[in-house]
Structure 1
Amino acid sequence: MSRPRKKKGRPVSGWVILDKPVGMGSTEAVSKIKWLFQAEKAGHAGTLDPLASGMLPIALGEATKTVPYVQDGAKVYRFTVAWGEERSTDDLEGPVTKSSDRRPLEAEVRAVMPKYTGVIMQTPPQFSAIKIAGERAYDLAREGETVEIPAREVEIGRLDIVEHSADRTVFEIECGKGTYVRSLARDMGRDLGCYGHIAELRRTEVDPFTPDDFVTVKELELARFGEAGQPESGELPMDFAAIDDFLIDTVAALDCLPQVAVGDDAATKLRLGNAVIVRGRDAPLEAEEACATARGRLVAIGAIEHGMFKPKRVFVG
C-alpha cells in the first residue's frame, strides 16, 4: 500500500499583489512567488500578457479558494494605442497586417469613445485564451488558422484620454471581467479608419486591491535573502518573517461580501460544516453569500438563511 505523498512547501496563506514586469508571463510569476514563499500551492486572479505590466494578484494556500471573487472584480488599465498599424496579435508582438497613413485628431478619438463605454459586444482577439471547439484560440492562431470567435458582452465603466499626440493616444479604462483592451484598440482603429494596436499596457488596479498593495519581485527577494542575495550553495534561509509581512490576509479578497464575526466555538462548528446562529445587532438575517470571520481571520463562505449561517466553503484557521 503506497503512502500518501507529503505536501511540499509551507501551509502559508494570503495574497501577494505583484507588480509584474514586462517580459514575465503570469505562470512564470506565480511559480516565482510560490518558490520565494515556499508555499504549498499558488494561483493568480487574471492573466497578464508578457508584454503587459502591473497588478497580478497571486493567491497562496487557502487564499486560492477566493480567486473567483478577485477575478470578478473591476479592473483599471492604462494603455497606449499606436495608430496607423493593425497587427495579428493586436499588440507589438505580432506582424503588421494592415496599415494606414491616416492619423486621428483628438476630437475624432473622443467622438468614437461613447461607443466603447457601458455594456458592449466585443470580439476577443485571435490570439487569446478563448476556447474554440476545445482548443485555445492562440494555439489555433499560431498554427495559421483564422477562427470565428463569437462576440460577447463586456462592461466598460469608464474610458478616458490621458494624453494624445499625432501617432498615439494614452487611455485609462475601468472595466469588468472578460474585457480585452487589445480588442478595444483594434476596433477603435477600424472605426477611425487608421488602424491601431496596443503599444503599452499596464494594469493598475484589480478590485479590491489598489496600487498601495503593490510589491515587486526585487522587494520580495530582498526580504527573503537580504542584501547578500540568494546563496550560491543552494541552501535557502528558513526565516520567512520579513517576506510574510508582504502578505495580505485572505479575507481582503471578500470585501464584496457581507462579513459576520463569530466566536471561537462557532468557528469550530463552521469548519466542521455545521450551521450556526448569526448573532449581533447588525448581522443580516438573509444573504445569498456571506463570509464568517473569527478574530479577524476567514472561517467560511456560505449563505445566511433565517438567521443561520450555512457554510459552503471552509478555511483552515
Structure 2
Amino acid sequence: MQQLKSIFISYSWDSEDHKAWVRALAERLVANGVHVHLDQWDVRYGESLTQFMDTCLPESDFVLVVCTPAYKSKATIRQGGVGYEAQIISARIAASIARHRFVPVLRTGALRPDDPDAAIPAYLQGVLALDIRKDEDFEVQFENLLRHIYGVPAIARPQLGGPPAFVNDPAFGNALLRLAHRDVEHWELQSGVVRNELHPDTFHIPDEARRRTLKVGDVVKLMFDYEYPDEWDHDGLTGERMWVEISALRGPYFVGTLHNDPVCIADWHDLAHGSQVTFLPEHVIDVDDDER
C-alpha cells in the first residue's frame, strides 16, 4: 500500500485571490491522497504561526514553494512568515536535505533572476520549477506534481540492458575493425556510391538516409571483388553480389554475416555462408525489405 505523503505549502498572502488559488491547489492535492499542511485550515485564531512553521515544515515529505515576485521579495529581506519559512528552507537545503523535496511552483512573475519581475528566491534559483503561470497548463503541471510526490515520473529512466552480443563474442575480440583488403583476404568490397556516381542512370542504390539508419537484423546486398592467383582459371568471374545480415553496429561500421554461399569458392579466400563481413554505408547497394 502506498505510504501517505505530506506536503507543506509555503506562499505569500499576495491577495485574497492568490490565497484562494493556493487553497484550491491544496484541496486538489488532498483529494488525491496527499496530506497538506496549510495555514488557512491548520492555524486557528490565537495559535502561533511560527510554531506551525517550526513543526509542520520540517516533518513534511515535500515543501511546495508558490513563487511570485512578492514571495521572492519577502524571502530576500526575511520579511514576515515568508521570511521565516525561507530561513527554515534555506537551512535545510544547506544541511543537504534532498533537493527534490523542495518544489518551486511559478505562479506569477519571471524565471530569470535578473528580471525586475523575478519570482524565484535565491535559494531555489537554477532548480527545475513547475510553471503554472498559464491556466491552460494547470492540469498537466498538477499531474506532474502528483507524479513527483508519488515517485511515478511520466518519463522514467529505461532499465539498463546487457551489453551488445559482440562485447563477449570472441569472434569480435578487442581488435580494431577494418575493411577487407585484396592483399590480405583476397577480396574486398566495391563502393556502391562510386558505382552510382559513374552510372547514375543504370545503377541505383538506396538513399543515404536509408543506408545510414540500417539496424541489426536488416539484410543488405554488397558487391564483392575477388583477387585471383595468376594460375586460377576464374572464367571471367571477378566478383559477385551477395546478401549480408547485419549483426552489430560498431561506430561507423556495420558488422554482418554472409547470408548466402558464394558462387566462387576457393582455398585462397575464406568467404562462406556465415562469414563475418565488415562494411560501411557506402557499400550498400540494396536492402531486402522482405527480410525485415
- Please indicate the TM-score interval, normalised by the length of the shorter structure: under 0.3
Larger Rg: 2
More strand by share: 1
Bigger relative contact order, structure 1 or 2 (CA pairs below 8 A, ≥6 apart): 1
TM-score normalized with structure 1 length:
0.20
More helix by share: 2
TM-score normalized with structure 2 length:
0.22
